[in-house]
Amino acid sequence: MRGLKKAFILALCVTAVLGLGGCSSIKSEKRIVRISHAQSETHPEHLGLLKFKEYVEENLGDKYEVQIFPNEILGSAQKAIELTQTGAIDFVVAGTANLETFADIYEVFSMPYLFTSEKAYHEVMGDTDYMNQVYASTDEAGFRVLTWYNAGTRSFYAKKPIHTPEDLKGLKIRVQQSPASVNMVKAFGAAASPMSFGEVYTAIQQGVIDGAENNELALTNNKHGEVAKYYSYNKHQMVPDMLIGNLKFLNGLSSEEREVFEQAALLSTEVEMEEWDKQVEEAKDIAQNQMGVEFIDVDVQAFKDKVSNVQQDMLDDNPDIQELYDHIQKINEKYAKEEE
Ligand code: GCU
C-alpha cells in the first residue's frame, strides 16, 4: 500500500514538474480537480465532498472534473497538505491541528475546553465573514481554507477505563501531529505520542499506545472500537476539519468560477453537518451494541480543572491567537446567558 501511495504521489509530482498544468489530465480536455481526505467513503466528509463535486460539475462540467481520494490514499493529512501547497493536488481536508505549523492562529482550536457549548462552536465556525479573515492566514504558505466541517467533540478512549484524570497517569495517548495537542495531553498527565490518523488502529492493537482521543466516529468508521473498548466523555476539544485549496488554483479561476467553487464548498458543509448529526448517533449505537465499547460518563469539571492553566499559558506564548480567542469568548458568553 505504501509503495503504491508513493508511486502515485511521484506520478503526480512528475506531472507537475513537467508543467502539465499541475494535475490536469493530458488526454481529457477537462481540468481534473483532485481532493484528498483521510476518511472512508461513508463518512460525512466524503458525502459532503460528493455534493461539492456534483455542484461544480453541474455548473462547470465542461471544464472541470472533480476526483475525490479517500482513506489517506494520497498520504496522511500532513503529506496531503504539502501536496496541496505545491499544487500537485488541488484540495485536501485536514483538521486545524495540522495547520498550526503553517499559521499560529490555528493553535487556538487545540485549546482544551475552548468552546463552552456546541451552539457557540457552530456559530463561530458558521460566521463565514469572520472566518475568512482567519482563512487568509495561510496565503503565504500557498493555500487557503474554503470551508469547515464538523468533526464533533473529542474525548479519550483506551484499552483501560478512564474515569478520572488520575486514570490518565502513565498512559501513552496518541495525539495529532500538533505541538499544542502534545502539550494538552501532557497537562492531563498522560504521555503524548503524535502520529498520523491512519497509524492509530495498529498502534493501539499492538500496544504501542494505550489509547487516543477523538470523536465517536473514530470508533466505527475507523474501527478503533475493535481495539479500544472504553470511551470516556471528558469532551476536551471541538476541533474542526477544513477544506483547503491550493491558492494558485483558486486565484487562477475566473470570478464566476470562483463563486461556483465557493458555493460548492458551502453546500458541502451543509450536507456534511446533517450527516454528522445522524452518523454520530448511529456510531454510538454500533460501538456500544455491536463492538462492545463501553461509554463512560465522567465528571467533566475534574478534567477541566486538571488543564485550567493551559488556556492562559497558550495565550501568553502565542499572541496571534488572542483576537480569535476573545471573539470566541464573547460567543461563549452569549450562549451561557441564554441558558441561565
Ligand atoms: C478526526 C478528524 C480528522 C483528523 C483525525 C485525527 O477524524 O476528522 O481530520 O485527522 O480526527 O485525529 O487525526
- Give the distance (Å) from ligand 1 centre to CA of residue 21: 31
Q: Whose CA is nearest to atom 3 of ligand 1?
A: 95
Report the CATH fold assignment for 154-238+291-339. Answer: D-Maltodextrin-Binding Protein; domain 2 (3.40.190)
**Maximum distance among all Cα pairs of the chain, rounded to whole angstroms:** 63
Alpha carbons 135 and 291: distance in angstroms, whole number: 39
Q: What is the pLDDT of residue 24?
A: 47
Ligand 1 pocket, CB under 6 A: 38, 77, 94-95, 151, 176, 197, 214, 218, 241
What is the spatial distance between Cα 239 and Cα 224, in angstroms, rounded to a whole number?
A: 19
Q: What is the pLDDT of residue 28?
A: 62
Residues of the chain with pLDDT under 50: 1-2, 13-25
- Rounded-to-integer distance, Cα 225 and Cα 192, Å: 20
CA 306 to CA 308: how far, in whole Å?
A: 6
User: Is this structure's pTM higher than 0.90?
Assistant: yes
> Which three-class secondary structure state does DSSP give residue 76?
coil
β pairing state of 31-36 and 91-95: parallel
- The pLDDT, as a whole number, for residue 339 is 75
* Residue 113, SS3 per DSSP: coil
Three-state secondary structure of 132-186: HHHHHHHHHHCEEEEEEECCCCEEEEECCCCCCHHHHCCCEEEECCCHHHHHHHH
Burial letters for 77-90: b for 16+ Cβ neighbours within 10 Å, e otherwise? Answer: bebbbbbbbbbbbb
Report which ligand 1 atom has the smallest distance to the Cα of 77. 10
Give the pLDDT score at 131. Answer: 98
Report the distance separating Cα 7 and Cα 11, nearest Å.
6
pLDDT at 337: 85
Q: What's the 218 CA to ligand 1 centre distance in angstroms?
A: 8
What does the pLDDT look like over 61-81, one tens digit per residue? 999 999 999 999 999 999 999
Going by alpha carbons, the residue nearest to atom 11 of ligand 1 is 214
| Ligand 1 atom closest to Cα of residue 98 | 10
| Count of positions (residues) in the chain | 340
Residue whose cell numbers read 505504501: 2
Q: What is the dihedral of CA 25, 31, 35, 40, to 10 degrees?
A: -70
Q: What is the DSSP letter of 75?
A: -
CATH numeric code, 2-150+239-280: 3.40.190.170
Residue 290: what are its φ and ψ, rounded to 5°? -110, -30
Ligand 1 pocket mutation, candidates 175, 184, 241, criterion most atoms within 8 A of CB: 241
Contacts of residue 276, Cβ cutoff 8 Å, sequence gap at least 6: 44, 149, 150, 152
Cα angle at 289 between 116 and 274, to 5 degrees? Answer: 45
Under 8 Å between Cβ of 148 and 106 = no
Q: Which residue has the cell 466516529?
A: 217
In the 8-state DSSP scheme, what is residue 30?
Answer: S
pLDDT (0 to 100) of residue 19: 42
Q: What is the pLDDT of residue 97?
A: 96
> In which order are the strands placed within the sheet that holds 191-194?
191-194, 172-175, 211-214, 154-158, 230-237, 294-297
Q: What percent of the chain has pLDDT over 70?
A: 91
Q: How many CA atoms, within 13 angstroms, populate the side-chain half-sphere of residue 262? A: 14
Q: How many CB atoms lie within 10 A of CB 195?
A: 17
Q: What residue spans in the chain does CATH classification 3.40.190.170 cover?
A: 2-150+239-280, 154-238+291-339
